[in-house]
Amino acid sequence: MSNDHLDRLVPRLRPFEKSIFGEMSALATRVGAVNLGQGFPDSDGPDELKRIAIEAIDSGSGNQYPPVHGLPDLRLAIAEHQQRFYGLTVDPVTDVVVTTGASEALAAALIALVNQGDQVIVLEPYFDLYAAAIAIAEGERIAVPLRTPAQTGSGFRLDAEALRAAASSPRARILLLNSPHNPTGMVLTDAELAEVADIAIAHDLIVISDEAYEHLVFEPNRHVPIATLPAMFERTVTIGSGGKSFSFTGWKVGWASGPADLVAAVRVVRQHLSYVSGGPFQPAIAAGLRLPDFYFAHLIEGFDRRRHSLSNGLAELGFGVCATDGTYFVVTDVRGVGYEDGETFCRELPERAGVVAIPI
């Protein structure tokens, strides 16, 4: 397709006109299909959090600019959360920044930490925002493919040797890590995390760890932030998403935490992107982060049940279904139902079955 209408856009950003999620969601709306393609849950998060946001609007306490790096009580709640779930000690005053979703945290971290031409390593397949944000930051994206189910005999897994080879480039500077992983549902194991940490330390990489799905991990898997490994905290920016953890994806409250020097860099950029965001939602997400363990256990039970019914149903239809350890996503191999490529399959699926999925 001609992209003359993008003449004014700088050439390096022209490939990013469309997001596959936006495109497929529009298709879902157009044909009235069930949209399984976008990462959002079917039901809203807790009513008690809604009430806090509504009250913050009604009382006026949430309607004007909140403090630049985030409401102090939300930053405190983020610090308490990192301590409670992972034993990580972060100072809410210097080591935390509230962002407009995990998306802005990712963009700000990349813009702040990537010098022009630095290589940013991503595990492939990856969330499409990564490619665009790396290009915005003028970095060079180096994709390290995961080992596929055909290679591992089960799910997608880290290819540590390929990662080590990519990291050994003298221009490699950042590892953009994502576990639980969109779109494969892979959750890095302790052994894989140890290899990643070893590589990051050996090659002096900064790790931007996208942990948006930290609370969406199925037993017996567990989420371990890479920042908890020895000598990793000081080189890691850890990113979370209130949208994902509390099923309010439209609220767009996220955060980054880590050592003060890295967070200071992220803060400088982020304050000039959105300055602040989500006034009424910030106290609500603070309350969410303090919900009892029961909430988090219940959240995952619901997703686990639906994961099984979707995976079993797809397998019965003849799809090759890849084991998923976490996230909202299930990856299937469409060759079992007579297709050779996922894109053709996904373009035909809405008309044929009233369902939208995303090609990897």
Residues in binding contact with ligand PMP, number by CB under 6 A: 14
CA distance 176 to 325: 20
The residue among 114 and 253 lying less far from ligand PMP, judged by its C-beta, is 253
The only residue of 41, 101, 258, 278 in contact with ligand PMP, by rule CB under 6 A: 101
Output the six-digit token pair for 264.
């200071």
Position with the least CB separation from ligand PMP? 101
The only residue of 39, 155, 258, 283 in contact with ligand PMP, by rule CB under 6 A: 39
The only residue of 212, 256, 321, 322 in contact with ligand PMP, by rule CB under 6 A: 212
CA distance 256 to 238: 5
Q: Looking at this protein, which amino acid is placed at residue 305? A: R
| Candidate ranges 98-106, 109-117, 133-141, 219-227; the one touching ligand PMP (CB under 6 A) | 98-106
Number of alpha helices (DSSP H) and beta strands (DSSP E) in the chain: 13, 11
Smallest gap from Cβ 106 to ligand PMP, in A, equals 6
Smallest gap from Cβ 243 to ligand PMP, in A, equals 4
CA distance 180 to 98: 21
Distance between the two ends of the chain, CA-based, in angstroms?
A: 21
The residue among 228 and 249 lying less far from ligand PMP, judged by its C-beta, is 249
The only residue of 124, 210, 214, 325 in contact with ligand PMP, by rule CB under 6 A: 210
Contacts of 48 (CB under 8 A, 6+ apart): 287
The residue among 70 and 101 lying less far from ligand PMP, judged by its C-beta, is 101
The residue among 159 and 214 lying less far from ligand PMP, judged by its C-beta, is 214
Whether residue 259 has a cis bond before it, omega within 30° of 0:
no
Smallest gap from Cβ 318 to ligand PMP, in A, equals 28
Coil, strand or helix at 325:
coil
The only residue of 62, 114, 122, 127 in contact with ligand PMP, by rule CB under 6 A: 127
The only residue of 97, 102, 142, 172 in contact with ligand PMP, by rule CB under 6 A: 102
**Site for ligand PMP, residues 240 to 279, rule: CB under 6 A:** 241, 243, 249, 252, 254
Smallest gap from Cβ 252 to ligand PMP, in A, equals 6
CA distance 189 to 221: 8
- Verify binding: residue 25, ligand PMP, rule CB under 6 A: no
Smallest gap from Cβ 212 to ligand PMP, in A, equals 4
The residue among 199 and 212 lying less far from ligand PMP, judged by its C-beta, is 212
Binding site for ligand PMP (CB under 6 A): 39, 101-103, 127, 178, 182, 210, 212, 241, 243, 249, 252, 254
